[in-house]
A and B are shown apart, each in its own frame.
Chain A
């Protein structure tokens, strides 16, 4: 991704709505305090310009939340997704200094910005899933929360077959680690793709 703008890639995410202590507590609860803090502290200030990674993060959060807003869990999902854009962007900025994730050779080849957008949405879904699980463990009474969790799960199921290709494209160790440890997936075992309809053993 030659010529990319560092300040747009590692843009500072919007902060949690003022006074939303319950959203922050939920994030702390799942051990994601740092996930928000570092982007807030080190993110680049950019005015009036939302990069592609931030848009990917917004879309990921909206896919899970649909219309829901104003609860601790929805604010926490929005914040965790926005932070995902910074983490992916930051690792993209230092990617040229990294090594290939399997060969450990330096100088990973160039990369399409589109792959970074996919990486953001995978990471955002993974973090959102964690946040929603923490909220559900406190109480599963809210049907909107259960519905959001089901959307997060199915987003994960749908993206799983694409992950091996994404990891190959990202190539660099830190980015690959970020994606592959945040997504829920069964590794590269994709024999499930074809279905059992005709009696194929999955």
Chain B
């Protein structure tokens, strides 16, 4: 029986349905398996002294603040692992809405850095890989129109535009096709995000069941308590 809950990452271009899938998995775990996951984001502002560097590096990226930004997100991810992910895993699954892949794409597109170079810098600070990185795969036209159809103000003129999103998608492709070179992504599984929301959730659930990252329900019914 699996007493250590999984750490799962959801990646994908803006508007591909990451948050939707994260909420779906949250409800699935809470409703069916009786355990409430912890959800985290790619940056969680846990390394307080790095917060300013994160905001500047993300919203005004330039050659001068690139390295400070990279080490700030490394510190923040390290703090997220040490203070949230690792302490919580005995009790609950952790679902991250974006993690490493998004950062590799950001540095490739905004700073022209090779994914392997960004990866090496981040990897020096991180010791734990997720069990699974789910990558929602969708053409940029479709993902951008989904992102724009949504209410709210989360679309950025220097990011949610066609050429940037296409380059992000290329970086994703390049990384995802060479998983051995990026072990801190864990197992990488691509999901076709063109499908209905419920079908994407079902596909993700099937991946979790196949890999025994969710408890077996037969055992649940017989043994009562599944989570020690």
Interface residues of A (CB under 8 A from B): 129, 133, 136-140, 146-147, 149-151, 153-154, 156-158, 161, 184, 192-202
Contacts and interface: CB of A to CB of B under 8 A. Distances in A.
Interface stretch (B75-83, B125-133, B155-163): B155-163
A194 B160 CA distance: 14
A150 B201 contact: yes
A193 B18 contact: no
A198 B201 contact: no
B23 to A, nearest CB: 5
Contacts of A150: 24, 28, 198-199, 201-202, 205
B58 interface: yes
Interface of B: 14-15, 18-20, 23-24, 27-28, 31-32, 41, 43, 45, 58-59, 97-98, 147, 150-156, 159-160, 196-199, 201-202, 205-206, 209, 217-218, 220-221
A153 B19 contact: no
B72 to A, nearest CB: 13
26 contacts: A133-B32, A137-B220, A137-B221, A138-B217, A146-B206, A147-B202, A149-B32, A150-B28, A150-B198, A153-B27, A154-B197, A154-B201, A157-B20, A157-B24, A192-B19, A192-B23, A193-B150, A194-B153, A195-B19, A197-B147, A197-B156, A197-B160, A198-B156, A199-B58, A200-B153, A201-B45
Contacts of B156: 197-199
A138 B32 CA distance: 11
User: Residue among A139, A195, A196 with the most chain B CB within 10 A?
Assistant: A195
A139 B209 CA distance: 13
B27 A202 contact: no
Nearest to B16: A197
B224 to A, nearest CB: 11
Given A137-B221, A153-B27, A192-B19, A199 B59 contact: yes
A157 B23 contact: yes
Contacts of A158: 197
B147 A195 contact: yes
The 10 closest A-B pairs by CB, nearest first: A194-B152, A197-B14, A198-B156, A195-B154, A150-B198, A154-B197, A151-B198, A154-B198, A150-B202, A194-B154
B41 A202 contact: yes
A64 B197 CA distance: 13
Contact of B159 (A147, A195, A197): A197
Contacts of B160: 197-198
B97 A146 contact: no
Contacts of A202: 19, 41, 97
